[in-house]
Amino acid sequence: MSENKGILLYAEVTRDKYIHTVFFELAAKAFELSKKLENCEISALLITPPADMGLYKDGFKNSGIDKVYVFQDEKFKNYDTEIYSKIAVDLVNEIKPEIMLVGATAQGRDLAPRISSSLHTGLTADCTDLDINEKGRLAATRPTFGGQLMATILCKNFPQMATVRPKVFKPLAENVVRNTEIIYKTASDTITGMTSKVELIDFVKTIQNEINELDSAEIIIAGGRGIATEEGFNLLRQLAEKLGGTVAASRAVVDSGIASKDIQIGQTGKTVRPKLYIACGISGAIQHIVGMKDSEKIIAINVDENAPIFSVADLGIVADAYKILPEIINLCNS
């Protein structure tokens, strides 16, 4: 039997000093998994520049976390792969979790493989589901062979590691209040002596804005091949601006070079759960639908009344998107 016990979650701090929403989604899943592991302890690793812990405390308390290990230092103002992974590895060696989960954000995708390779353990990246099998092992499911098959992967070593993209899991519907213990740690001497090999020069806002906004967007206006022109995507952007939303695309549009891969929705793109998803000129292939079907309300605009997208839509509009979008934008102006 392994001496490893409990679930450790990485609590990523965003540049606006919030805990990334994916952490609360992972916490909800960890809460479910812990029930199958004799209600094992759920802990979090927080690496942050000196901050008022009051900002974070309630979030942790209400998400069912038992312990938060906090590393605070001016050095942690900007993310650094080597320093952050060293801290995580030292903590894992100290508390020996059975499972470690990290959000598959840009930072998490960089950090998790570093941690797993230093610990000589396995990592299943971009999971779409997590469960505990009959032998009490983490069963991590993810698409494979370009999305044609779903594979459930077991990890031989400990901790069993997995990353999960934002919006794949839902945060807990109700607060699970725990008497969360905050444990302040100091980074090891190795960290004190470490200097970053990376010099951060500047953060430049690019199309990245749309990408980042997609994770938290409440309204998404998505375009497919039916509107895959510069003119079409300008209409989508205008509508997004009017409604306070952001623009996304189907793979057909990404493949045609009109949109960046980073704003692709679907099986091999992002999974989103906005309050409103407006699909324009998208046929509704299953690989697209898996990425947006949990949106609260879906409006589809398509010239073909038999387009499969209408089967998941709450409101279907059979129309030419190039003609109806300017009318909707005008309505928003009046």
Ligand X SMILES: Cc1cc2nc3c(=O)[nH]c(=O)nc-3n(C[C@H](O)[C@H](O)[C@H](O)COP(=O)(O)OP(=O)(O)OC[C@H]3O[C@@H](n4cnc5c(N)ncnc54)[C@H](O)[C@@H]3O)c2cc1C
Residues near ligand X (CB under 6 A):
146-148, 224-227, 250-253, 264-269, 281-283, 285, 287-288, 291, 301-304, 307, 320-322
Q: How far is the CB of 243 from ligand X (least distance, A)?
A: 18
Q: How far is the CB of 294 from ligand X (least distance, A)?
A: 15
Q: Which is nearer to ligand X, 63 or 264 (CB)?
A: 264
Instruction: For residue 245, give the 3-state DSSP assignment.
Output: coil
Shortest Å distance, C-beta 299 to ligand X: 12
Residue 129 CB, nearest distance to ligand X (Å)?
17
> Of 42 and 104, which CB lies nearer to ligand X in the complex structure?
104
Sole residue written with tokens 């949109």: 259
DSSP annotation of 171 reads P
In the chain, % helix, strand, coil (3-state, to 5) comes to 35, 25, 40
In the bound state with ligand X, the residue whose beta carbon lies nearer, of 269 and 316, is 269
Rounded Cα distance between 271 and 143, Å, is 13
Tell me whether residue 116 or residue 267 sits nearer to ligand X (CB atom).
267
CB of 289 to ligand X, least distance (A): 9
The residue (of 247 and 253) whose beta carbon lies closer to ligand X is 253
Judge whether 19 and 12 are in contact, CB under 8 Å: yes
Least separation in angstroms between residue 37's CB and ligand X is 33
Q: Pairing relation of β-strands 129-132 and 138-144? A: antiparallel
Structure tokens at 193: 């002596």
Nearest to 100 by CA among 31, 152, 159: 159
- Residue corresponding to tokens 């990245």: 208
**Helix/strand number for the chain, H first, E second:** 10, 15
Question: Toward ligand X, which CB reaches closer, 97 or 269?
Answer: 269
Closest distance to ligand X from the beta carbon of 326 (Å): 12
Least distance (Å) between residue 261 CB and ligand X:
10
Between 75 and 225, CB nearer to ligand X: 225
Question: Burial level of 330, CB count in 10 A (0-12/13-18/19+)?
Answer: exposed
Query: Helices 106-118 and 81-95 sit at what angle, rounded to 10 degrees?
Result: 50
Report yes or no: 225 and 307 within 8 Å, Cβ to Cβ. Answer: no
Sorted by sequence, the CB contacts under 8 Å of residue 135 that are 6+ apart come out as: none
In the complex with ligand X, which residue's Cβ is closer, 86 or 165? 165
Residue 247: closest CA among 271, 217, 273: 217
Q: Which two tokens stand for residue 71?
A: 């590393």
Token code pair at residue 163 = 């990353």
